[in-house]
Amino acid sequence: MTEEPARGRMPDRPTLDGLEDRWGARWESDGTYRFEWVGGKRAQVFSIDTPPPTVSGELHMGHVFSFTHTDTVARFQRMRGKSVFYPMGWDDNGLPTERRVQNVFGVRCDPSLPYDPSWEPPEKAPKPAISISRRNFVELCGRLTADDEKAFEALWRRLGLSVDWGLTYTTIGREAQAVSQREFLHNLERGEAYSSEAPTLWDVGFQTAVAQAELEDRERPGAYHRLRFHGPEGPVEVETTRPELLPACVALVHHPSDERYAGLTSVRTPHFDVEVPVHAHPMAEPAKGTGIAMVCTFGDVTDVVWWRDLDLPTRVVIGRDGRFLPGGPFAGLTVNAARREMVRILTESGDLVGEPRQITHPVKFYENGDSPLEIVTSRQWFIRNGGRDRELREALLERGRELRWVPEHMRHRYEHWVNGLTGDWLISRQRFFGVPIPIWYRLDDAGEPDHSELLIPDQNSLPVDPSSECPPGFDESQRGKPGGFAADPDVMDTWATSSLTPQIVGGAHGDSVFPMDLRPQGQEIIRTWLFATIVRSHLEHGVLPWRTAVLSGWILDPDRKKMSKSKGNVVTPMDLLVQNGSDAVRYWAASGRPGTDLAFDPAQIKVGRRLATKLLNASKFALGLGAADALRQPVTEPLDRAVLAGLAEVVTTATRAFDAYQHTDALQASEAFFWTFCDDYIELVKERAYGTGPGADSGRAALAAGLSVLLRLFAPFLPFVAEEVWSWWRYGSVHRATWPTTYELSRVAPEGDASLLGLAGEALRQIRRAKSDRKLSMKAEVPLAEALGPAAVLDRLALVESDLKAAGRIGKLDRLPDRTPELVIACAF
C-alpha cells in the first residue's frame, strides 16, 4: 500500500463489456505475465508444467475448468513475488491429427510416392481419398494444426490465462523433436530402450501398434461357444468367445489346483485335429466356463502371458489388416466372417456343444479407434517402465509416494496402474505425423535390415528424419541397397514426446525451473501423461519432474452425466465467454475443487457475472466517496477497524487455501466477505464517509484499504474486472501488485474486533426488516428503536451506535439489557 493513487480514469458508466479485448492487449504489450529470471535462488521461481491440449479437436468446458484452476495458482504465486514460469504448449502430433487431416482434405498417406513441392490440396475434399507422399501429408498436418493453434490461443487469451506466450511450444516443433530424439538415444545407451519382435496390440483401422495405456474397454455383444476337444480318455469341453482362432490354438490351460484336469497332458483340436499340450497356470480360473481355457496366438493379452510363461509355439492366423492370412484357414476373411464359418463347420461336425450363449462383455479398443484390437506379431520399440522389472516398478512406486497429490487419494490410481502393468511401454507407432525414431539399420547382403546393427545419428545433428536424411558415413545412393541402410519407418507415440514437456519447455532455463513446482492435469491421464513423465524423469535425472500434481475432476452436464462429444452434450466455451464475460465463466470454473466433478450450471455463471458487476459498482461508489484520497489516513473508528480485522481473517484463509491448492476455499471466503462488505459495511459507513472530519477520513481510509485488498483477493479469479477497477485509482497492474497480508492490515487498523461488523450488520438487518414488514421505504425515519440483549452485547453495540442510527434513520436508540440470548431490535414507528 505504498503506491501513489492515480487519477481521472473512472468511467461514468462502468461495464464488463469489452474488458477482455482491452486488458488482454494491454497485458501483452506491457509484458505483464512475462517470465523474468536474471539469476538468484530457485525458490524465487514457481514453474508450471502446463498440459498441452490436443489441437486436433476442439477445446471444451473441461479444458476451461482445469486451466482456470491452474491460472488462479499462477496469478497467486506471481502476486506472492514469485517469477512464474507458465508456458503454453500444443500437442499436435499423433493419430487424431492424421485422422482429421484425412477427413478434412480427403487424402491418405502413401510413403512410396515421391514428394511434390508444388502440390496443394483441392478446395473440396475428394471422394475417394487421393494418395499423397509422406512429406506432403506431414506438411498438410502441420498446416492444419497451425490454424487450430491460432483458434486455441484466441480462446485462452479470451479466458484470461496469464501464460507467457513467448514460451509457447509444440510437441512436433524442432526443439521438441530434438529433445525427444536425444532422450530416446540416452535411453538406448543405458539399455532402457530396446526393439523386439513380439506380440503387440494392433489397431486394424489405423494400422498401428497401441500401448497398454491407450486402451479402453467397451461393452460389446458376444457369445460363448462350447467346443469339444478330443482327449485320450474322452472329450474335453472348452468355452471361448473366439472360435475363429481355433487354428491358432497352441495349448489348453487350467489352474494347478483343478483336479478335473490333473494328469491330462494333451488333446487334439476339433476339425483341425492338431495335438496341443495341456498346462497348469495360476491365471486360469476354475470357476469360469469349464475351468479350462484355449490359448491362441493371439486372442487377448492373457494369451500373450500364457504364451510367454509357458514358452509355447506361435501360430499366426490374422494379419495387420484384420483379415486371415493367405495360405491358411479362412484366408482373406474378416474376423466376423471367419467366426461364422468356424461355427458352421463345428456345428456340422458335432464339435459345437449346444447353442452359443449370448453375452455382453468388455472388448479392448484403442481409445481413438473404431475397431476391436487384434494382437499381431511385429517389431516395435519399447522403454522399460517396470512392467517386467520388479526393481524398477518399486522405484516408480516410491516416486509416487514422494509426490504431493492434490487430492491425496489420486495417488492410489497411480499405484493401481503401476502394479497392473503387464509389459514395457510400447513407444513406436506405424504412422507419419510424429517424431521419427532416430535410427537407421545396416542392410545385409540380401538387403534385409540387421536389427542388431543400429546406425545412430550424432546428437548434435538432432532432430533428424531418417526417411529423408542419411546416417553418418552413408549417402542417399545406398538407401535400400544391399550393404547400405534403411531408415526405421516408425514415429514415436505422442506420449513419448509429451512425457518430456518439462525438458522441452524448460531446457533453456535449466535448474531455474526444473524440477518444476506444479503439474496440473486430468485424472484420466494419470496412467499416460503423469506416469510416463515420471518414468522419463526418473530414468534421465533420477528425480521427480515436479513437486506437486493437482488433478481435475470431470465436467458433468446438468443431469450429472459426463460431457463428451459422443453424447452430444458438449458446450462451446467461446460462445459462453462472449455472452457472459470471461470473469463469469472463470467464477463458475473456480467453484469446482481439485479432483471433484462439477456440473455445468449456467445459473452459476450468472452468479459470477453478478459478482463482477457488483465489484464494478461498489468500487465506483466507494471511490466516489473519496476513498482514493484517504488511502493513507488513519483508521480510528471501531466499525472501520472491525471491517479490516474481518478482512485480515479472510486474507489468512485465502492464503492458506492457495498454499494447499484449494482455490475454491479462497474464492468462497473472499466472496462471502465481499457481500458483507457491500451489504453491511458500506451501508453503515456511507453517511459518515460523506461528511468531513476524522471520522469521515477513517471511513474513507477503511473503504480504500478494504477495496485494495478485495481487488487483490479477487484478481486470480476475476482478472479483468479486478484490473479494470485497479486502473481507476492505482498505478501498475493488480496482477503485479503484492498479495495482501495480515501485517499490511494490522498496520492500518490495529486492535480491530472483527465480530463487531457482524453485530452491527445484524442490527441493521433487523431494522430494515421491520420497515419492510410495514411496507415502508428504507429511508423512512424510526423515531425510537430499542436494543434488547445481554449487557456485554449492548456495550459493544454502543461502539457503532452513531453509524447504526445514521444507516437506519433512527431518531433515538435505547439499549435495554435483559435475558434475551441474542440481540433483538424493536422499532417504534
Phi, psi of 811 (to 5 degrees): -75, -45
pLDDT at residue number 92:
85
Q: Cis omega (within 30 of 0) on the bond before 128? A: yes
Residue 216 half-sphere exposure toward CB, CA atoms < 13 A:
11
Of 755, 767, 769, 771, the closest CA to residue 806 belongs to 767
| C-alpha distances out from residue 198 to 1, 317, 575, 663, Å | 67, 15, 49, 48
pLDDT at residue number 563:
60
Q: Which residue has the cell 499490511?
A: 744
357 touches 223 (CB < 8 A): yes
Of 58, 87, 19, 16, the closest CA to residue 507 belongs to 87
**pTM, entire model:** 0.88
pLDDT at residue number 473:
94
Q: Which residue has the cell 491418405?
A: 108
Q: Which residue has the cell 525414431?
A: 437
Other beta carbons within 10 Å of 466 = 22
Give me the residues paired with residue 201 across strands.
375
Of 91, 54, 85, the closest CA to residue 70 belongs to 85
* Alpha carbons 70 and 213: distance in angstroms, whole number: 25
196 touches 380 (CB < 8 A): yes
| Residues whose CB falls within 8 Å of the CB of residue 178, separated by 6 or more in sequence, listed in order | 462, 463
| Residues whose CB falls within 8 Å of the CB of residue 74, separated by 6 or more in sequence, listed in order | 46, 48, 84, 86, 162, 163
Of 579, 586, 608, the closest CA to residue 160 belongs to 586
Pairing of strands 215-231, 782-789: unpaired
Helix (H, G, I), strand (E, B) or coil at 77: helix
* Alpha carbons 380 and 388: distance in angstroms, whole number: 16
Alpha helix stretches (DSSP H) within 625-693 = 638-659, 663-676, 683-689
* Alpha carbons 166 and 189: distance in angstroms, whole number: 34
pLDDT at residue number 568:
58
Query: Crossing angle for the helix pair 19-30 and 719-729, nearest 10 degrees?
Result: 70
175 touches 283 (CB < 8 A): no
pLDDT at residue number 786:
94
Q: Cis omega (within 30 of 0) on the bond before 515? A: yes
Segment (H or E) for 516: strand 516-522
* Alpha carbons 244 and 344: distance in angstroms, whole number: 11
595: region left, alpha or beta (phi > 0 left; psi from -120 to 50 alpha)? left
Low-confidence stretches of the chain (pLDDT beneath 70): 1-8, 56-57, 559-560, 562-571
Looking at residue 230, what DSSP letter applies?
E
Beta strand extents in 171-316 (DSSP E only)? 193-203, 208-209, 215-231, 234-240, 249-254, 266-268, 275-280, 292-296
pLDDT at residue number 72:
98
pLDDT at residue number 567:
59
Alpha helix stretches (DSSP H) within 499-565 = 501-506, 531-541
